[in-house]
Structure 1
């Protein structure tokens, strides 16, 4: 059975972007959220290498796709798995697929546009093989998947920032139980791994 992992960077007060995020504006006023990727130390590099090796397919929402597709977005040198041995297939959840994709044309990514998270999960699981399906964002898509109980493992990269606003990962009323599996601090973030607790989870 395919493991579904939500993997996302978050501020100490629960935001995954700053104010003003969007195409051409990246993370808004919070670009330093991803210092663990852009200014990585050895722990950060290990985390990135392990995540890429584990990934069989990636799912993202349309908002995140528009950011990485647009000006200043992903290139052959910068993007998910760009510095590793190959990149996984991507599934973008959107009701309005674009007519063409720069990431496909210029970067050579394999991208499939699907109209629902459930369809994305089904198709991603079919190609992931014995590796994981990774939900990388944006915050709304990951938050909805967490609320729906679709995520087996939650990986948070906690940046040492308090933003005071932006895109929240969690919404009021959402409630679920996780077991902490790993904590690895680096010079730029604290990398946290949680396993979702279900009634069938051993030891619960």
Structure 2
């Protein structure tokens, strides 16, 4: 049965991006530090068509993220540009260049309609204006029995969690304090999680939870 999974890096004080996000600094002040653990890894570099890299306990975690994924959902702020609003620039195709690292259909939750954007490598961005449930339903249909990955950002992850639609949540907890920014859990309450794994690695602890329904 297809599951909705999410994995996301988070600071000790609960932020998935720092304050003052901008075009020049999309992860906000200090937010790049949330990903210092993953960028040097061999498994991350392989997924971005790069060679070499470090090998430690985090490599298997990153490899598992890519397994059995047939489609994805993300929020408008993650797709960009920062600030949202109507699509004034139809040339905007995300932060990832001509060959995004997804290679499957991605459904972007937004208030503003736009035609699908086909990219190299099998990625097509679809823009969904009728809510998170519709985005998930379309993603599951496109995934054809495989799982759907919820990539973020923080606001849309919180919406899916609060709505009881998320099946698994993996937090990559980085030992920094950002002091502000984008959160997952700010408006989420009454959700019960069962921890099913913990992996310690350099610069990060990976905590996987099953969302109890």
TM-score after normalising by structure 1:
0.83
Q: Give the one of 104, 107, 113 matched to 1:88.
A: 104
**Which whole-Å CA distance do the structure 2 matches of 1:160 and 1:89 have between them?**
33
Tell me whether 1:52 sits opposite 2:63 in the alignment: no
Residue in 2 that maps onto 1:12: 12
TM-score after normalising by structure 2:
0.79
Alpha carbons 1:24, 1:72 under 8 Å: kept: no
Task: Give the structure with the larger helix fraction.
Answer: 1
Q: Could you list the per-position Cα deviations for residues 138-190 of structure 1 after superposition, in whole angstroms to 9, with x for gaps in the alignment?
A: 10000011111111111111111111111111125612111110111111211
Alpha carbons 1:89, 1:109 under 8 Å: kept: yes
**Which whole-Å CA distance do the structure 2 matches of 1:186 and 1:180 have between them?**
17
Q: Give the one of 126, 139, 161 matched to 1:112.
A: 126
RMSD: 2.5
Alpha carbons 1:3, 1:152 under 8 Å: kept: yes
Q: Could you list the per-position Cα deviations for residues 82-117 of structure 1 after superposition, in whole angstroms to 9, with x for gaps in the alignment?
A: xxxxx221010112134685xx35676211111111
Offset of 1:23 from its aligned partner?
3.2
Q: Give the one of 95, 98, 103 matched to 1:73.
A: 95
**Which whole-Å CA distance do the structure 2 matches of 1:122 and 1:21 have between them?**
30
Residue in 2 that maps onto 1:202: none
Alpha carbons 1:24, 1:71 under 8 Å: kept: no
- SS at 1:133 equivalent: strand
Tell me whether 1:62 sits opposite 2:76 in the alignment: yes
Tell me whether 1:35 sits opposite 2:36 in the alignment: yes
Sort the Cα spacing of 1:73 and 1:194 in 2 relative to 1 into closer, same or farther, 3 A. Answer: same
Offset of 1:21 from its aligned partner?
1.6
Residue in 1 that maps onto 2:88: none
- SS at 2:141 equivalent: helix
Offset of 1:191 from its aligned partner?
1.1
**Which whole-Å CA distance do the structure 2 matches of 1:118 and 1:71 have between them?**
24
Segments of structure 1 that go 5 or more residues without pairing to the other structure are: 82-86, 199-204
Residue in 1 that maps onto 2:169: 154
**Which whole-Å CA distance do the structure 2 matches of 1:124 and 1:71 have between them?**
19
Residue in 2 that maps onto 1:184: 199
Alignment: residue pair count: 190
